[in-house]
Structure formats: structure tokens, C-alpha cells
Amino acid sequence: MQQDCIHIEDLCVEREGTEILRGLSMSVACGERLIVAGPNGAGKTTLLKAILGMVRARAGRILVLGSHVGSREWSRERRRVGYVNQESVPVDFPVSGREVVEIGTCALPLGRSEKRRRIEEAMAAVGCTHLQGRMYARLSGGEKQKLSLARCLCQDPRLLLLDEPTSSLDPRSRLELMSLLRELNERRGLTMVMVSHDAQVLSEPEWRIEHMEAGAFA
């Protein structure tokens, strides 16, 4: 029997007295690719943040990689979860592509040479080595998303969470990103959960699609 990478039971999340997620349950098998679809305000981003332990649940439980989110065991497993957030905030300060990827190694107890190796291998894996000396603020949306993926790969993740990763991309860049995600899933066995309301993404084959409305699955 295939093990669940994520298992959620009766999850309820409130913010300022408003219920965002209500009685939500879901399971994602290890190695699976899942798209959580739905309109803005459905609770998709809150679901990702609950899986990451960034928002507190009022009720229910979340197990990720076999550990209860928020437990001592989870604090050790958290680094095996990569998170690609929406590229919606302009970055004006001078930071290079390599420095963005290096962020993924900052919390890891690794020596300098091992961190360097992970950075170089991650950038090569997503085809963005040529961006290492470029200024992040001057890159296209597709180039920024490649760097974000490389940052996550530095963590040697088992689970990848993606929040509307195609929202700022043109159609060609969308296709390139989805192809890259498929390759990473097949080559590395990465479990992937993506939230999206992008019609082009929702037409992708071999992704399980679940629809959310008003904080619950439809």
C-alpha cells in the first residue's frame, strides 16, 4: 500500500473570526502530483500555509511525511518541504540569482563545500546556471520561478508546495515550467501539490485535480 505524504483530517482554520477552511480532509500519496483548483478566496493558499505550519488550525490534524505538523518530529522534517510562493512582490534590492538559490541552504547544517555542491547541482537541474550572476529584479517571471525551484531543491525536499506558480508567466513559460515539474517528479520522485486557477495548467495530463470552494473541497 502506497504511503501518504500528506494526510489531513477535518481541518478547520479561522482568521479574525472568519472560517477560512472548514472540515477539510485530503490525502496525497508519496510521488503524486496534485492540483488544488478554485477561485480566489477559496482557501487554497491558506491550505498550503497550514501544511507548512504557518497558520494554526482551530481543529483537525495534519500529518506531513509521517509527522504531526507542529510537533517536535515535524520541526526536523520541515526542511524536507519546499515552498514556491507567488512571485507578486517586486524585489528592488541587489541580489543575484545564485544568492536567491543559496537561501535554500541557510538553515541546513552543512559545510561550505556541501552547500556549494547543492547550489550548483540544483541550478543545473532546472537549467538556470546561466542566471547565477544576473540581478534577480531584472529577470523574467519564468526565470524567477526556475530560481525558486532551484532554491527548494537545495533542501533535498521530498514534498514541493507551489502557490500559483504560473500566475506571472506567458504561455510558453507556463509550458516550460510544467514540463520541468513533470521531469522533477519522475526523476526524483518528488510529491507535488500546486494551487492554481490557471486554465492552461488545469488541462495538464497526469495531475490529479481537486476543486475547492469556500474553504472545502467541492
The enclosing domain of 47 has a CATH number of: 3.40.50.300
Task: Categorize the per-residue pLDDT at 26 as very low, low, confident or very high, splitting at 50, 70 and 90.
Answer: very high
The whole domain housing 117 covers 4-217
Give the model's pLDDT for residue 16.
85
Query: So what's the pLDDT on residue 87?
Result: 61
pLDDT in tens, 140-172: 988 999 999 999 999 999 999 999 999 888 888
| Residue whose entry in the numeric block shows the C-alpha cell 477552511 | 21
pLDDT at 85: 85
Q: Quick one: pLDDT at residue 198?
A: 86
Domain count for the chain, please give it. Answer: 1
pLDDT exceeds cutoff 80 at 89? no
Tens digits of residue pLDDT in 93-144:
789 999 999 999 998 888 999 999 999 999 999 999 999 999 998 999 889 9
Mean per-residue pLDDT, 46-71: 94
Give backbone dihedrals phi and psi of 208, rounded to 5 degrees, phi first: -75, 140
Over residues 24-46, the mean pLDDT reads: 94
Pairing of strands 159-163, 67-68: unpaired
- pTM here is 0.92
> Does residue 217 contact residue 58 with C-beta atoms inside 8 Å?
no
Q: Which residue has the higher pLDDT, 87 or 79?
A: 79
What is the helix (H) or strand (E) element at residue 45, kind and residue range?
helix 44-52
Given a cut of 60, whether residue 90 has pLDDT beyond it is no
Say whether 3 sits in a helix, a strand or coil: coil
| Rounded Cα–Cα distance for residues 202 and 199 (Å) | 5
What would the pLDDT profile of 176-213 be if each residue is shown by its tens digit?
Answer: 999 999 999 999 999 999 999 888 888 888 899 999 99
pLDDT at 1 over 50: no
Residue 2: what pLDDT?
57
Quick check: 42 and 215 in contact, CB under 8 A?
Answer: yes
